[in-house]
Structure 1
Amino acid sequence: MQRATRKPGRPAHRAVVVGIVTLSLSLVGVAGWALDRYVIEHVQIADVDAYEAAQSAEQPATGTTDTSGTTDTTNATDTATSSAGTATPAVVTDTSAVSDDASVTISTVVTGSGQDTVTYYVADVVLTDATALRSAFAQNSFGLNITEDTSDIAADNDAIFAVNGDYYGFRDTGIVIRNGVVYRDEDARDGLAFYRDGTVAVYDETATTAAELVAAGVWNTLSFGPAIVADGQVVAGIEDVEIDTNVGNHSIQGNQPRTAVGVIEANHLVFVVVDGRSPGYSKGATMTELAQIMQGLGATTAYNLDGGGSSTMVFDGELVNDPLGKGRERGTSDILYIAG
């Protein structure tokens, strides 16, 4: 009896179809995961102002010793609120602002020429009350992928001066303490801690906890980096550091728009925003060049913040820099600011 024979190519054809379908489903799954992880908003705290008020009311008094040797047991958030409520409005010019709690002076620096031009903006900030440097979240909400332009967050909080923060909402790690309140305690990297006494220090997140930091007097933390200046010297190896190696954010190297904060001494800070990716106006800066800028400004410690299109400085309601040479901002998750 003659056996029936299969037509050639059918099994291979079926295998190709099955493979394409499987690949398509996999791609759909990956795309869905990526959208959920990096695009879709995940709100954990919908009203940050109310949350901070509630948390500060529940916190025990924190003891800080003043120069007379007596102990002030006022809660840090209460101090800032009280100070803001009684302060007189800032005296503002085109490039400066002076209030009871802080002074800010803005300057523009242009170096190089042609394709090698670099343009950056410096904010010299002197605080009389360390808690006058505050943080605010996009849309007054805490969580992942919640964004808003720096200028809009600044306006929502009556900020006279603001820069983008560490874009905490892109990742789910890092210790996040803002305005004396703990929002996240997931140690991962070297962070930056602003204390209520005006000192600022780089610290190892994996060696402590958010609660311990608050007890020690920490007012704000940032979790990005790396530290680029330590003890007045440029930190070695900063050109090889990668902060995030996940989807869409592989490297922070090369000539890039940058934002950084430097410490000259207690209660004396300097913020730098370098524009980039705009040949003829500003090509950006490498990490080492950013460190050298900070070193030249007298910073003994400096720390890199979120950069690229997020690098933004706002003063008196106006965008100071020109992000990516396009005259418009890219949304970010948080800012550091001083109220007017």
Structure 2
Amino acid sequence: MSKINIFMLFLGAPFLALFLVSQGFMNQGRMLEFPTTMLEEQMSELQKEMQLLHEKTLEMGINVEMQEETFRLQEESLSDLSQMSATGRKLSDDIYEQKILDMLGPTVATHISDATEIKVFKLNELGYRGYIAKVKLFNPKAFKVVLAQDTLGKLETTSNAAKRKSGILAINGGGFYTEQRNGASYAQLIGNTVIDGRLVEAFNGYPGDLFFAGINRNGQVIGTVPHSEKSLMELEPYQGVSFIPVLLKNGKKVEIPSKWKKTNEPRTIIGKYANDDLIMIVIDGRQNDWSTGVTLELLQDKLLELGVKEAYNLDGGGSSAMYFNGKILNKPSDGKERPVVNNIVIMP
């Protein structure tokens, strides 16, 4: 029953009572005559009831108004708290973002669109040089693993793959080796590669210590050393490649196999910050007059210094290449780009 109907019921009640009493008096008056005192008492009692009904009616109206005002104030408070929370989160995000940018140094190139925000930085350390790209993925579909020539067994340079797909940023991807098949060279993927949520080949657990790294459908970096197809697919991978070793997990160093620890080499790294921003790094090497490369142990220290939370070592050596906006930024150790089996391409 609505508030208006309740109000009208209380408002009409006194008049209904008067009507019923008067009718009773008229009917009984024909048969007998009431004493005046009795009538006055009844009228007085009726007036009291009318006054009580009137007060309750007013009280009800006041309570309804008070409840409406209370609800309004509560809604305003909730709205204010929500706005304060959103403002606080944005302020926290902005502070974290600025902290990252301060650690990375001056930006040398930028790209911003509805799909991505990319900022490129130079990396210039004692003994080695390279480039860093920090990527915000607004649309996970902007992150692509691209097979060489879109075909298993083929090879393709990073810049060619990026241009062919109209990408803005690219780095080389997972490991591979070449072999002869039916008298022709065949580039075999190492580990597992996922494109658009599907393994491009049957699950391969050999040799057992290869990681899988990429993104899920929400654009978040994921990584694991899968021991079965089930354990890999439980991560709901969207795009990803394989190599070795894992460098950082949850902001802590991961033990590096001894055979990988001490050699200075060109490197390609993919990782993430705590806010899920991607970080891609390519470091040049094998060039004494430019950059000798870096050990994975030293690279772990540098990644922690930059605030990176997770990091994975992709195929390096002569394969290491970073492409941005039409050109290769680094200096590949072979003097030119090496064709590779797959590349990670970021769309504009």
TM-score clears 0.5: yes
Distance, in Å, in 2 between the alignment partners of 1:168 and 1:178 is: 16
Instruction: Note the 1:205-216 alignment, pairs <5 A.
Output: 205-209=226-230, 213=233, 216=235
Q: How far apart are the structure 2 equivalents of 1:216 and 1:228?
A: 19
Does residue 124 (structure 1) correspond to residue 134 (structure 2)? The answer is yes
* Structure 2 residue 280 is the aligned partner of structure 1 residue 271: yes
Instruction: Specify whether residues 94 and 295 from structure 1 end up closer, same or farther in structure 2 by C-alpha distance, changes over 3 A only.
Output: closer
Cα distance in 1 between the residues matched to 2:275 and 2:228: 24
> Counterpart amino acid of 1:166?
G
Question: Equivalent residue for 1:255?
Answer: 264
Q: Shift of the alpha carbon at 1:299?
A: 1.1
The residue aligned with 2:248 is: 229
Deviation track 1:268-321 (CA, whole Å, cap 9, x = no partner) reads 110110000001210100011222222222111100000001000000010100
Partner SS state of residue 265, structure 1: coil
- Residues 245-269 of structure 1 show CA distances to partners (whole Å, capped at 9, x for unaligned) of xxxxxxx850000000111035411
Say whether 1:182 aligns with 2:199. Answer: yes
Aligned to 2:340: 332
> What is aligned with 1:107?
121
- For 1:128 and 1:310, locate their aligned partners in 2 and report how far apart those are by CA, in whole Å: 28
With over 3 angstroms needed to count, the CA separation of the structure-2 counterparts of 1:168 and 1:99, relative to structure 1, is: farther
**DSSP-derived class of the 2:337 partner:** coil
Q: CA deviation at 1:173?
A: 4.8
Asked whether 1:217 is paired with 2:236, we answer yes
Secondary structure (helix, strand or coil) at the match of 1:205 reads coil
In structure 2, the residue matched to 1:202 is 223
1:191 counterpart SS class: strand
Structure 2 vs 1, CA of residues 295 and 176 (structure 1 numbering), >3 Å: closer, same or farther? same
Quote the offset at 1:235 in angstroms. 1.6
Give TM-score, length-normalised by structure 1: 0.62
Task: Call closer, same or farther: CA 1:193–1:106 in 2, change over 3 Å.
Answer: closer
Whichever residue aligns with residue 203 of structure 1, its letter is T
What TM-score results when the alignment is normalised by the length of structure 2?
Answer: 0.61
Q: Which sections of structure 2, spanning at least 5 residues, go unmatched?
A: 1-106, 178-186
Given that residues 199 and 266 in structure 1 are in contact (C-alpha distance below 8 angstroms), is that contact kept between their aligned partners in structure 2? no
Shift of 1:128: 1.1
Partners of 2:198 and 2:116 lie apart in 1 by 22
Which structure carries more helix by proportion? 2
Paired with 1:127 and 1:309, the residues of 2 have a C-alpha distance of 28
Q: State the secondary structure of the residue aligned to 2:318.
A: helix
Correspondent of 1:139 among 145, 149, 161: 149
User: What is the DSSP-based 3-state SS (H/G/I as helix, E as strand, rest coil) of the residue aligned with 1:324?
Assistant: coil
Task: Name stretches of at least 5 consecutive residues in structure 1 with no aligned partner.
Answer: 1-92, 242-251
Query: Which residue of 2 is the match for residue 317 of structure 1?
Result: 326
What is the total number of aligned residue pairs between the two structures?
229
Task: Could you list the structure 1 runs, at least 4 aligned residues long, displaced by more than 6 angstroms after superposition.
Answer: none
Go from structure 1 to structure 2 and tell me whether the alpha carbon gap of 1:182 and 1:208 turns closer, same or farther (over 3 Å shift). Answer: closer
- The range that moved more, 269-278 or 125-134, is 125-134
Task: Summarize the Cα distance change of 1:295–1:138 in structure 2 as closer, same or farther, 3 Å threshold.
Answer: same
Aligned position for 1:149: 157
Contact 1:239 1:287 in 2 (8 A): no
Letter in 1 for 2:219: G
The sequence identity of aligned pairs, in percent, is 28
